[in-house]
Structure 1
């Protein structure tokens, strides 16, 4: 689907949508302050109507959704039997339909899986992306946008990150959390409203920011995203995603055993870190760039951006054993770039259950 924002002066658009309008750093500042809004063409919208929708999604995913109130925002993960992340979605219910905002590349797979899991329940998930687009920005900025409200509830998802949701658990110890001041929301808008926004932006009546600006603000807030931070081995603990996407006290769901075991008794094998990059070479690593400690590859970059205040930054997933104060380097086309790591998920994350050590049988007998 061609982006209607391609006609906006200065717009740089690719297959993912509007990347920027010539000034990504200024766009970040405008987006963070609520002056601009961002067309999120790399998102898709799934609709799940039906009387059983919330209890059904509750039974399938990591989040407690059975009692989700109209207008309440949360997020969910779909895990495989080993607890690895397969799908992720932002969740909003309007009293009649549960709306899922997902990464566009994940929409087809998630929808196919949901449709296979319907059995005889009263649910009918569908792709609503031809009807609706997604616009991002501050909550106040989106209050000025004509978002959809088919059941009388405005379809504005308020990002719960980095708060610890009911039943969640936060591993990051930074205080305050870098995302604490981040004001982020995503509105579901009809396609004709999207076209109107594009026309008004072309006339200079609406300020826009591109996907590069939105992603830079996300990276600075340590906010994981399925399209960037997740690979075939990822579990929620590694990305500090337990704080908003997992309810530890809800009923059974696929992958729950691994979630509970790692959180209570074990440690995630990898962990997310924030990287401050040496900006002297004015280059950013691509996702998948190797993170090295000396000659040893200890992880990979998942996201990188030039931030309007912090300069070149990145998120990376590294081995749990990587020292927190390690002098790391990123391989960018054969050129090493120095990186200073800040801990998001600490090496000691997990093992929260204080299980007493039982004396060995032989020692008990010796004592008697």
Structure 2
């Protein structure tokens, strides 16, 4: 995407160079107040996202065969859907918000990922009737709850609404399943921390961004506010939570982005095998961090149980209500009640020519952390079989072999 026009507002403050959200304002002077306004449905956020379009009569069936979600029923103004593109081993290569206006399929991905997505899609066209294009001139404006409709109304009145997407998180869409088996009890059923999350965005042309924000009457909020509410909801983001070995089960992404019975697509074997025969090796969790020290870890920080490393922090925010918190990927079997700590690191400069001349990350402190689980340590989803398929047959054969001996 190109630099957001909202960075030209007087109070807009940019984030650090190289940050994932650098093309949009980080805040407008009061990040915590902006969070509260955003949560109340009274604010709008410029999102750092790339946009790719697919046109042609085969676009929906084609993307359905390439991705994890069934997109064939997408229709104008239906809120859209979410899909993942996976490699042959089931690892996540792209996470896409998809919406269709009847003529064009709009695919929204992380900023900087658009050219790679467009290149991949273009290489997979073969003889199908589809055309792929980058749309650097289109921007995504995010909001929560009623504010999504307010934004869409302002854009529609201005004649510049290109599409509206509603985030399905943390619901379980048709064909999906949730990895929360065992997290609750009959007396205390599991309640997802994102239960009240109601995010969405509208797509508008670059030249209309400021006018839509002004006409909506919503207050501007920065990316720090958006990220804090996302982390509170346990909502995975490709540019933060996904590493080179992540599979959807670990992030509970089968809730919203995977259709289990739609048919073949790259990576489907891993999806089915892990669901039916195995357990994801890691699990996403929310960490409530001790804020008394005033120190916060950085993404990539090691999570420890005692001295033993058990995971890695993926996102860190300061929430306006509950203080510092994070998302982390932990080893699946890490006990839910075990006390954890997270490393606080600093880079120590060293003299040129010495070992580690580029600077070494030194652990200078640790902060206590409590888990708020998102994915069960049992590693089972609602759609997982009660026992491993074929287990009864294997037991029968073992018993018969014993009798024969």
TM-score of the two chains, using structure 2 as the length reference: 0.85
- Of 62, 69, 72 in structure 1, the residue corresponding to residue 68 of structure 2 is 62
Q: Deviations over 1:131-181 (max 9, x none)?
A: x11100024223333437999986110011111000000113463221111
Report if the CA contact (8 A) 1:159-1:185 is conserved: yes
Cα shift at 1:261: 0.3
Query: What is aligned with 2:168?
Result: 160
Cα distance in 1 between the residues matched to 2:70 and 2:245:
24
Counterpart position of 1:343: 373
2:9: which partner in 1? 8
Q: Is the contact between residue 43 and residue 134 of structure 1 (CA under 8 Å) also seen in structure 2?
A: yes
Secondary structure of 1:238's aligned partner: helix
Shift of 1:92: 0.7
Contact 1:70/1:153 (<8 A) preserved: no
The correspondence of residues 278-289 of structure 1 with structure 2, limited to 5 A, is 278-289=290-301
Deviations, residues 311-355 of structure 1 (Å, cap 9, x unaligned): 111100011121221211110112100001122111212372233
What stretches of structure 1 of length at least 5 have no aligned partner? none
**Aligned match of 2:127:** 120
Equivalent position of 1:192 in the other structure:
207
Q: Identify if the C-alpha distance between structure 1 residues 149 and 126 changes in structure 2 by more than 3 Å, giving closer, same or farther.
A: farther
- Distance across 2 between alignment mates of 1:252 and 1:151: 39
Cα drift, residue 33 of structure 1? 0.8
Report the CA distance shift for 1:53/1:153 in structure 2 as closer, same or farther (over 3 A): farther
Q: Deviation at 1:125?
A: 1.4
SS at match of 2:228: helix
Residue number in structure 2 paired with 1:367: 403
Give the 5 Å matches for 1:1-368: 1-14=2-15, 15-40=22-47, 42-72=48-78, 73-130=80-137, 132-145=138-151, 146-147=154-155, 155-172=163-180, 173=183, 175-197=190-212, 200=214, 206-333=218-345, 334=363, 335-350=365-380, 352-353=384-385, 354=387, 355=389, 356-357=391-392, 358-359=394-395, 361=397, 363-367=399-403
Distance 1:164 1:3 in 2: 33
User: How has the CA–CA distance of structure 1 residues 104 and 149 changed in structure 2, closer, same or farther, with 3 Å as cutoff?
Assistant: farther
Q: Distance in 2 between matches of 1:366 and 1:184?
A: 59
CA RMSD of aligned residues (A): 2.2
Contact 1:147 1:156 (8 Å CA) reproduced: no
Distance 2:220 2:160 in 1: 27
**Structure 1 CA distance for aligned equivalents of residues 279 and 130 of structure 2:** 37
Unmatched tracts of structure 2, length 5 or more: 16-21, 185-189, 346-362
Q: Is the 8 A contact 2:155 2:212 kept in 1?
A: no
Count of aligned residue pairs for this structure pair: 363
For residues 302 and 102 of structure 1, the distance between their equivalents in structure 2, rounded to whole angstroms, comes to: 18
Higher Cα Rg: structure 1 or 2? Answer: 2
Q: Tell whether the 8 Å contact from 2:332 to 2:379 is kept in structure 1 after alignment.
A: no
TM-score of the two chains, using structure 1 as the length reference: 0.93
